[in-house]
Protein backbone atom coordinates (compact mmCIF):
# COMPACT_ATOMS: atom_id res chain seq x y z
CA UNK A 1 0.00 0.00 0.00
CA UNK A 2 1.01 3.63 -0.41
CA UNK A 3 1.80 5.43 2.83
CA UNK A 4 3.36 8.61 4.18
CA UNK A 5 6.11 7.49 6.57
CA UNK A 6 7.81 9.49 9.30
CA UNK A 7 11.42 8.35 8.83
CA UNK A 8 13.39 10.79 11.01
CA UNK A 9 12.89 14.27 12.48
CA UNK A 10 11.74 16.72 9.82
CA UNK A 11 11.40 14.01 7.17
CA UNK A 12 8.27 12.38 5.74
CA UNK A 13 8.55 10.01 2.76
CA UNK A 14 5.72 8.81 0.53
CA UNK A 15 6.49 5.19 -0.29
CA UNK A 16 5.20 1.63 -0.53
CA UNK A 17 4.60 -0.18 2.75
CA UNK A 18 3.32 -3.73 3.39
CA UNK A 19 -0.45 -4.13 3.45
CA UNK A 20 -1.84 -4.88 6.90
CA UNK A 21 -2.23 -8.56 7.73
CA UNK A 22 -5.83 -9.80 8.07
CA UNK A 23 -6.90 -9.99 11.70
CA UNK A 24 -9.96 -11.32 13.50
CA UNK A 25 -9.43 -8.75 16.25
CA UNK A 26 -9.03 -5.61 14.16
CA UNK A 27 -11.08 -3.99 11.41
CA UNK A 28 -9.20 -3.02 8.26
CA UNK A 29 -10.17 0.41 6.98
CA UNK A 30 -9.65 1.50 3.39
CA UNK A 31 -8.92 5.13 4.11
CA UNK A 32 -10.16 8.11 2.13
CA UNK A 33 -9.04 11.07 4.30
CA UNK A 34 -6.91 11.90 7.32
CA UNK A 35 -6.13 15.31 8.80
CA UNK A 36 -2.73 16.60 9.84
CA UNK A 37 -2.77 17.23 13.60
CA UNK A 38 -0.55 19.46 15.71
CA UNK A 39 0.61 16.36 17.59
CA UNK A 40 1.77 14.89 14.27
CA UNK A 41 3.77 18.08 13.71
CA UNK A 42 5.24 17.65 17.20
CA UNK A 43 6.34 14.13 16.24
CA UNK A 44 7.63 15.39 12.88
CA UNK A 45 10.01 17.69 14.76
CA UNK A 46 11.25 14.76 16.84
CA UNK A 47 9.68 16.08 20.04
CA UNK A 48 7.46 13.11 20.89
CA UNK A 49 9.29 10.14 22.37
CA UNK A 50 6.14 8.03 22.01
CA UNK A 51 6.25 8.21 18.20
CA UNK A 52 9.40 6.44 17.11
CA UNK A 53 10.44 6.51 13.43
CA UNK A 54 10.09 4.86 11.06
CA UNK A 55 6.33 4.79 11.47
CA UNK A 56 3.09 5.83 9.82
CA UNK A 57 1.59 8.77 11.69
CA UNK A 58 -2.00 10.02 11.50
CA UNK A 59 -5.04 9.40 13.68
CA UNK A 60 -7.89 11.46 12.17
CA UNK A 61 -8.95 8.78 9.70
CA UNK A 62 -12.09 8.21 7.64
CA UNK A 63 -12.77 5.34 5.27
CA UNK A 64 -14.66 2.15 4.45
CA UNK A 65 -14.61 -0.83 6.80
CA UNK A 66 -13.45 -3.95 4.96
CA UNK A 67 -14.44 -6.69 7.42
CA UNK A 68 -16.51 -7.34 10.52
CA UNK A 69 -20.10 -6.28 11.15
CA UNK A 70 -19.40 -2.81 9.74
CA UNK A 71 -18.02 -4.09 6.42
CA UNK A 72 -18.92 -1.74 3.57
CA UNK A 73 -19.88 1.15 5.85
CA UNK A 74 -18.20 4.54 5.97
CA UNK A 75 -16.59 5.03 9.36
CA UNK A 76 -14.67 7.63 11.34
CA UNK A 77 -11.86 6.53 13.63
CA UNK A 78 -11.72 7.24 17.34
CA UNK A 79 -7.97 6.65 17.71
CA UNK A 80 -7.89 6.44 21.51
CA UNK A 81 -7.84 2.81 22.68
CA UNK A 82 -8.47 2.47 26.45
CA UNK A 83 -8.02 -0.75 28.40
CA UNK A 84 -11.70 -0.89 29.42
CA UNK A 85 -11.10 -2.22 32.92
CA UNK A 86 -9.32 0.46 34.98
CA UNK A 87 -10.88 3.06 37.31
CA UNK A 88 -10.89 5.68 34.52
CA UNK A 89 -12.63 3.43 32.01
CA UNK A 90 -15.17 2.28 34.59
CA UNK A 91 -16.00 5.93 35.35
CA UNK A 92 -16.37 6.84 31.63
CA UNK A 93 -13.14 8.87 31.67
CA UNK A 94 -11.46 6.80 29.01
CA UNK A 95 -9.12 9.65 28.09
CA UNK A 96 -7.52 9.24 31.53
CA UNK A 97 -6.90 5.51 31.14
CA UNK A 98 -3.31 4.91 32.30
CA UNK A 99 -3.03 1.99 29.87
CA UNK A 100 -4.42 3.80 26.84
CA UNK A 101 -2.95 3.22 23.39
CA UNK A 102 -3.44 5.23 20.23
CA UNK A 103 -3.61 4.81 16.49
CA UNK A 104 -0.66 6.65 14.96
CA UNK A 105 1.40 6.13 18.11
CA UNK A 106 1.60 2.53 19.34
CA UNK A 107 -0.28 1.35 16.22
CA UNK A 108 0.38 2.30 12.57
CA UNK A 109 -1.56 5.44 11.69
CA UNK A 110 -3.91 6.70 9.03
CA UNK A 111 -1.55 8.35 6.54
CA UNK A 112 -1.90 5.29 4.33
CA UNK A 113 -4.31 3.48 2.05
CA UNK A 114 -5.19 1.06 4.86
CA UNK A 115 -5.16 1.02 8.65
CA UNK A 116 -6.44 -1.38 11.30
CA UNK A 117 -8.61 -0.32 14.23
CA UNK A 118 -10.61 -2.11 16.96
CA UNK A 119 -14.28 -2.26 15.94
CA UNK A 120 -15.41 -0.41 19.07
CA UNK A 121 -13.29 2.54 17.94
CA UNK A 122 -15.32 3.12 14.78
CA UNK A 123 -18.31 5.42 14.28
CA UNK A 124 -20.63 4.97 11.32
CA UNK A 125 -20.84 8.23 9.35
CA UNK A 126 -24.34 9.45 8.43
CA UNK A 127 -24.91 9.82 4.69
CA UNK A 128 -25.22 13.62 4.79
CA UNK A 129 -21.73 14.06 6.27
CA UNK A 130 -18.87 14.11 3.75
CA UNK A 131 -15.55 12.35 4.22
CA UNK A 132 -13.83 15.73 4.59
CA UNK A 133 -16.24 16.79 7.33
CA UNK A 134 -16.00 13.45 9.11
CA UNK A 135 -12.20 13.67 9.18
CA UNK A 136 -12.60 16.56 11.66
CA UNK A 137 -14.51 14.38 14.16
CA UNK A 138 -11.49 13.58 16.33
CA UNK A 139 -10.02 17.10 16.69
CA UNK A 140 -13.48 18.61 17.14
CA UNK A 141 -14.09 16.12 19.97
CA UNK A 142 -11.22 17.74 21.88
CA UNK A 143 -13.16 21.02 21.88
CA UNK A 144 -16.48 19.37 22.65
CA UNK A 145 -14.69 18.06 25.74
CA UNK A 146 -13.29 21.54 26.49
CA UNK A 147 -16.73 23.17 26.24
CA UNK A 148 -18.23 20.53 28.52
CA UNK A 149 -15.55 21.17 31.13
CA UNK A 150 -15.94 24.94 30.80
CA UNK A 151 -19.68 24.69 31.35
CA UNK A 152 -19.13 22.63 34.49
CA UNK A 153 -16.47 24.95 35.93
CA UNK A 154 -17.59 28.50 35.15
CA UNK A 155 -19.59 30.50 37.67
CA UNK A 156 -22.07 31.50 34.97
CA UNK A 157 -23.61 29.72 31.95
CA UNK A 158 -21.21 29.27 29.07
CA UNK A 159 -23.53 31.13 26.67
CA UNK A 160 -23.36 34.18 28.97
CA UNK A 161 -19.56 34.08 29.27
CA UNK A 162 -16.77 35.73 27.33
CA UNK A 163 -13.93 33.68 25.90
CA UNK A 164 -10.50 34.00 24.33
CA UNK A 165 -8.71 31.34 22.29
CA UNK A 166 -4.94 31.44 21.86
CA UNK A 167 -3.84 30.01 18.51
CA UNK A 168 -5.49 30.01 15.10
CA UNK A 169 -4.60 26.50 14.00
CA UNK A 170 -7.17 23.76 13.65
CA UNK A 171 -7.72 23.37 17.40
CA UNK A 172 -8.07 27.12 17.85
CA UNK A 173 -10.50 27.46 14.95
CA UNK A 174 -12.54 24.50 16.16
CA UNK A 175 -12.53 26.05 19.64
CA UNK A 176 -14.20 29.26 18.44
CA UNK A 177 -16.66 27.27 16.31
CA UNK A 178 -17.64 25.01 19.21
CA UNK A 179 -17.93 27.99 21.58
CA UNK A 180 -20.15 29.78 19.05
CA UNK A 181 -22.23 26.61 18.69
CA UNK A 182 -22.76 26.74 22.46
CA UNK A 183 -24.08 30.28 22.20
CA UNK A 184 -20.96 32.22 23.20
CA UNK A 185 -21.09 35.55 21.36
CA UNK A 186 -18.10 37.38 22.87
CA UNK A 187 -15.10 35.43 21.51
CA UNK A 188 -11.56 36.64 20.89
CA UNK A 189 -8.91 34.73 18.94
CA UNK A 190 -5.17 35.49 19.12
CA UNK A 191 -3.07 34.47 16.12
CA UNK A 192 0.26 36.11 15.11
CA UNK A 193 0.40 34.62 11.59
CA UNK A 194 -1.44 37.10 9.32
CA UNK A 195 -2.45 34.36 6.85
CA UNK A 196 -4.09 32.22 9.51
CA UNK A 197 -5.54 35.28 11.23
CA UNK A 198 -7.31 36.31 8.02
CA UNK A 199 -8.69 32.79 7.61
CA UNK A 200 -10.04 32.90 11.16
CA UNK A 201 -11.54 36.35 10.62
CA UNK A 202 -13.49 35.00 7.66
CA UNK A 203 -15.33 32.61 9.97
CA UNK A 204 -17.19 35.62 11.33
CA UNK A 205 -17.53 34.26 14.88
CA UNK A 206 -14.49 35.73 16.68
CA UNK A 207 -12.66 39.02 17.05
CA UNK A 208 -9.21 38.14 15.75
CA UNK A 209 -6.05 40.00 16.75
CA UNK A 210 -2.28 39.85 16.66
CA UNK A 211 -1.10 39.08 20.22
CA UNK A 212 2.13 41.00 19.58
CA UNK A 213 0.00 44.15 19.34
CA UNK A 214 -2.14 45.77 22.04
CA UNK A 215 -5.52 45.22 20.40
CA UNK A 216 -6.68 42.18 22.39
CA UNK A 217 -9.38 41.99 25.04
CA UNK A 218 -7.23 43.51 27.80
CA UNK A 219 -6.15 42.18 31.20
CA UNK A 220 -8.60 40.40 33.50
CA UNK A 221 -11.37 40.70 30.92
CA UNK A 222 -12.58 37.23 29.85
CA UNK A 223 -14.27 34.40 31.72
CA UNK A 224 -12.47 31.52 30.04
CA UNK A 225 -9.27 31.24 27.99
CA UNK A 226 -8.48 28.21 25.85
CA UNK A 227 -4.75 27.90 25.23
CA UNK A 228 -4.51 25.92 22.01
CA UNK A 229 -0.75 26.56 21.68
CA UNK A 230 0.82 25.54 24.97
CA UNK A 231 4.07 27.50 25.41
CA UNK A 232 5.25 29.58 28.40
CA UNK A 233 4.24 32.86 26.70
CA UNK A 234 0.68 31.76 25.93
CA UNK A 235 0.22 30.35 29.44
CA UNK A 236 1.33 33.69 30.87
CA UNK A 237 -0.94 35.65 28.52
CA UNK A 238 -3.87 33.37 29.33
CA UNK A 239 -3.55 34.02 33.06
CA UNK A 240 -3.27 37.78 32.52
CA UNK A 241 -6.43 37.88 30.39
CA UNK A 242 -8.62 35.82 32.73
CA UNK A 243 -11.12 37.53 35.02
CA UNK A 244 -11.06 36.87 38.75
CA UNK A 245 -12.91 33.60 39.23
CA UNK A 246 -12.34 32.59 35.61
CA UNK A 247 -10.63 29.57 34.10
CA UNK A 248 -7.69 28.80 31.82
CA UNK A 249 -8.25 25.60 29.85
CA UNK A 250 -4.90 24.34 28.61
CA UNK A 251 -5.07 22.05 25.59
CA UNK A 252 -1.87 22.92 23.68
CA UNK A 253 1.19 20.69 24.05
CA UNK A 254 3.84 22.59 22.14
CA UNK A 255 6.37 23.27 24.89
CA UNK A 256 6.64 22.41 28.58
CA UNK A 257 8.28 24.50 31.28
CA UNK A 258 8.15 28.17 32.10
CA UNK A 259 6.83 29.99 35.16
CA UNK A 260 3.18 30.77 35.88
CA UNK A 261 2.10 33.63 38.12
CA UNK A 262 0.60 31.46 40.84
CA UNK A 263 0.30 34.47 43.16
CA UNK A 264 -2.04 36.21 40.71
CA UNK A 265 -3.93 32.96 40.20
CA UNK A 266 -4.37 32.54 43.95
CA UNK A 267 -5.36 36.12 44.72
CA UNK A 268 -7.88 36.13 41.86
CA UNK A 269 -9.07 32.53 42.20
CA UNK A 270 -8.15 31.76 38.60
CA UNK A 271 -8.46 28.07 37.82
CA UNK A 272 -6.06 26.24 35.50
CA UNK A 273 -7.11 22.93 33.97
CA UNK A 274 -5.20 20.69 31.62
CA UNK A 275 -7.33 19.01 28.95
CA UNK A 276 -6.42 15.79 27.17
CA UNK A 277 -8.39 14.42 24.23
CA UNK A 278 -11.99 13.32 24.85
CA UNK A 279 -14.37 10.66 26.06
CA UNK A 280 -16.30 8.28 23.81
CA UNK A 281 -19.38 10.44 24.31
CA UNK A 282 -17.43 13.54 23.23
CA UNK A 283 -16.52 11.83 19.93
CA UNK A 284 -20.15 10.89 19.27
CA UNK A 285 -21.27 14.42 20.13
CA UNK A 286 -18.60 15.82 17.83
CA UNK A 287 -19.81 13.84 14.81
CA UNK A 288 -23.39 14.89 15.56
CA UNK A 289 -22.36 18.55 15.83
CA UNK A 290 -20.48 18.33 12.52
CA UNK A 291 -23.66 16.97 10.92
CA UNK A 292 -25.47 20.04 12.24
CA UNK A 293 -23.09 22.42 10.45
CA UNK A 294 -20.35 23.03 13.01
CA UNK A 295 -17.58 23.48 10.41
CA UNK A 296 -19.21 26.40 8.61
CA UNK A 297 -18.32 26.90 4.96
CA UNK A 298 -15.12 24.80 5.35
CA UNK A 299 -13.03 27.38 3.50
CA UNK A 300 -10.51 27.16 6.35
CA UNK A 301 -9.80 23.51 5.46
CA UNK A 302 -7.43 22.56 2.62
CA UNK A 303 -7.31 19.19 0.87
CA UNK A 304 -4.15 17.68 -0.61
CA UNK A 305 -3.41 14.19 -1.93
CA UNK A 306 -1.49 11.83 0.34
CA UNK A 307 1.35 11.84 -2.20
CA UNK A 308 1.88 15.54 -1.37
CA UNK A 309 1.89 14.94 2.36
CA UNK A 310 5.59 15.69 2.84
CA UNK A 311 5.33 19.18 1.28
CA UNK A 312 2.19 19.75 3.36
CA UNK A 313 4.16 19.13 6.56
CA UNK A 314 6.88 21.47 5.30
CA UNK A 315 4.37 24.22 4.48
CA UNK A 316 2.74 23.97 7.90
CA UNK A 317 6.16 24.07 9.56
CA UNK A 318 7.16 27.16 7.58
CA UNK A 319 3.76 28.86 8.18
CA UNK A 320 3.27 29.16 4.42
CA UNK A 321 -0.35 28.06 4.30
CA UNK A 322 -3.33 30.21 5.33
CA UNK A 323 -5.36 27.09 6.04
CA UNK A 324 -5.98 26.19 9.66
CA UNK A 325 -6.25 22.54 8.64
CA UNK A 326 -4.82 20.35 5.89
CA UNK A 327 -6.59 17.06 5.22
CA UNK A 328 -4.77 14.43 3.15
CA UNK A 329 -6.88 12.48 0.68
CA UNK A 330 -6.11 8.92 -0.44
The string of pLDDT tens digits covering residues 70-103 is: 999 999 999 999 999 999 999 999 999 999 999 9
179 with 262, same domain: the answer is yes
> Is residue 287 domain-resident?
no
Residue 214's pLDDT is 75
> Is residue 286 domain-resident?
no
Give the CATH number, domain containing residue 104: 3.90.180.10
119 with 156, same domain: the answer is no
Residue 8's domain spans which residues?
2-136+295-329
129 with 157, same domain: the answer is no
List the one residue out of 163, 172, 212 whose CA is nearest residue 192. 212
79 with 174, same domain: the answer is no
132 with 156, same domain: the answer is no
> Is residue 288 domain-resident?
no
Residue 213's pLDDT is 87
> Is residue 238 domain-resident?
yes
243 with 316, same domain: the answer is no
Residue 257's pLDDT is 87
Residue 48's pLDDT is 87
Residue 328's pLDDT is 98
Q: What is the block-wise mean pLDDT of the chain (330 residues), using blocks of 10 residues?
A: 97 97 93 96 91 96 97 98 95 94 96 97 98 98 97 96 97 98 97 95 96 89 97 96 98 90 96 96 97 95 98 95 96
Long-range pairs for 241-247 at CB < 8 Å and ≥24 separation? 241/164, 241/216, 241/217, 242/268, 242/270, 243/268, 244/220, 244/268, 244/269, 244/270, 245/155, 245/269, 245/270, 246/154, 246/222, 246/270, 246/271, 247/150, 247/153, 247/154, 247/223, 247/271, 247/272, 247/273
> Is residue 284 domain-resident?
no
109 with 155, same domain: the answer is no
The string of pLDDT tens digits covering residues 236-263 is: 999 999 999 999 999 998 888 889 999 9
149 with 77, same domain: the answer is no
Residue 254's pLDDT is 86
Residue 22's pLDDT is 87
Domain total of the chain: 2
Amino acid sequence: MEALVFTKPNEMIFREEPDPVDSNELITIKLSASGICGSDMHAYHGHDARRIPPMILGHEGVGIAQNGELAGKRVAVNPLIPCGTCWACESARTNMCPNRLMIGMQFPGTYAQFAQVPEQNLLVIPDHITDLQASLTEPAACLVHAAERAQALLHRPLNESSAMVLGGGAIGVLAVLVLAKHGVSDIWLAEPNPLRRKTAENLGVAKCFDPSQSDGPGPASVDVVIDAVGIPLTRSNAIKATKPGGWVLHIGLQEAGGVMDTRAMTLNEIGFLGLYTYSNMDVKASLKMIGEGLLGDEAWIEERPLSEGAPAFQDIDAAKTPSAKIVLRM
